[in-house]
Amino acid sequence: MRKVIQFPQAENSNLLKKLIHLSSDYTDVCILNSNDYQHDTYSKYKWLAGFGQVDSLAIKINDEQVFEKLDDFLKQNKNEWVFGYLAYDLKNKIELLDSSNLDLLNFNTIYLFVPQFILTSAEEIELFGHQSIGNDAITSFTNSIQQQKYNKPNFRKSSIQFKQRIQHDEYLQSISAIQQHIKLGDIYEMNFCQEFYSEQVIVNPADIFTQLNEVTPAPFSAFFKENECYLMSASPERYIQKIENHIISQPIKGTAKRAKDILEDEKLKLSLENNSKERAENIMIVDLVRNDLSRIAKPKSVNVSELCGIYTFPQVHQMISTVTAELPKNTAFSKIIKATFPMGSMTGAPKIRAMELIEQFEKTQRGLFSGSVGYIDPHGDFDFNVVIRSLLYHAKNQYLSLSTGGAITFKSNAEEEYQESLLKAQAILGLFD
């Protein structure tokens, strides 16, 4: 990549909105936005964007040699920027698992691309062009940014109606059945999710993401376009990050609603901090993450730098822990993924049995939901989120989807878990009210 142009930081907000709407001109787009979240001391960039592609890797779940193809692609594109996603069902290539539930989104299992153009926002906003791109193309891209007009999102809310894949009574019955598995010792905890969906709907994903990001400015927000497949994410959670040989994971477990009254809001926050059930859920997943990282980390390097910290977001308070480790030099990206994916916060513990039961009790394949989107930089460092609080859209199928859920333990109250799932959904579905 070679630097082409530098933009004034004063253009930061409008420039990002222009880039989101410029996405309609490209088949491959990834925009990652931290929304200047002050509590994340690990992020290297305020936002990143990749447009177009000079090389890409698309893998379906029935492909053979998935990780060999992944390794080959990254070797061929060493020292390049790479953006992409890992779908939840990659689990089937890590463990002896399968996915046979309904899938109307049809995302790939792995999709990576090397962009033609990169924009980074750290201390400065810079545009880079891939070395294979000629000056005329670079000039054209730069002009298209400068000429792009941003209009306030305007989508037809009344035409978008969501249905629930699992109805209230069935949801409660499923939780009861899951708790029986916990009682029998099959699992200690399981992440159980439900889908909200809208069929035969035509939307403008750029408009929706712009509006979503204004309402829910999350630290791991992402807009991803791969041909007909779109992700509009307001994720608050980091899956895994590597800087040199240092690696961190920040699982979220524990949610409380916000209140408009300041004193009441503080009480809800304090209640979450002192909630023994929520803390137990979080600690259980922290132990799982520690175990995952210990499989690839240097001996005795795995450390919990923060346990059950409470962080506030526009709609909810969250309980977040931070687990760190040191890796041996030249640890392959695929080795890290095989040891840690899917993230424990979206499975449960023990992980393999929890994933088997997820397949049994949920009605749809998760696909990119519960997967991860992120980037790998030219130095081999990377940062990937957890795909939650996200809308998924397949333009050709005209299918729009949102999934939410939570951790089920033996002490879980089924109705409270159901209401928590609705609370998480409403933060996004409220866009269409």
Structure tokens belonging to residue 158: 């009344």
101: number of CA atoms within 13 Å, CB side? 18
Element (H, E) at 85: strand 82-86
C-alpha to C-alpha distance for 94 and 88, rounded to whole angstroms: 11
Q: Tell me, yes or no, if 253 is annotated catalytic.
A: yes
Asked if the peptide bond before residue 350 counts as cis, ω within 30 degrees of 0, the response is: yes
DSSP 8-state code for residue 332: -
253, 338, 351, 424: the catalytic one is: 253
Q: Widest CA span of the chain, in angstroms?
A: 66
237 is catalytic: yes
- Residue 283: closest CA among 256, 252, 314: 252
For the record, the structure tokens of 240 come out as 């895994």
H helix intervals, 102-187: 135-147, 168-183
Check residue 131 and report its DSSP letter: T
Q: 69: buried, middle or exposed (CB in 10 Å: 19+, 13-18, 0-12)?
A: middle
Considering the candidates 195, 237, 281, 359, report the single residue annotated as catalytic: 237
Looking at the DSSP assignment, which residues form a beta bridge with residue 326? 246
- Where in the sequence numbering do the catalytic residues fall? 237, 253
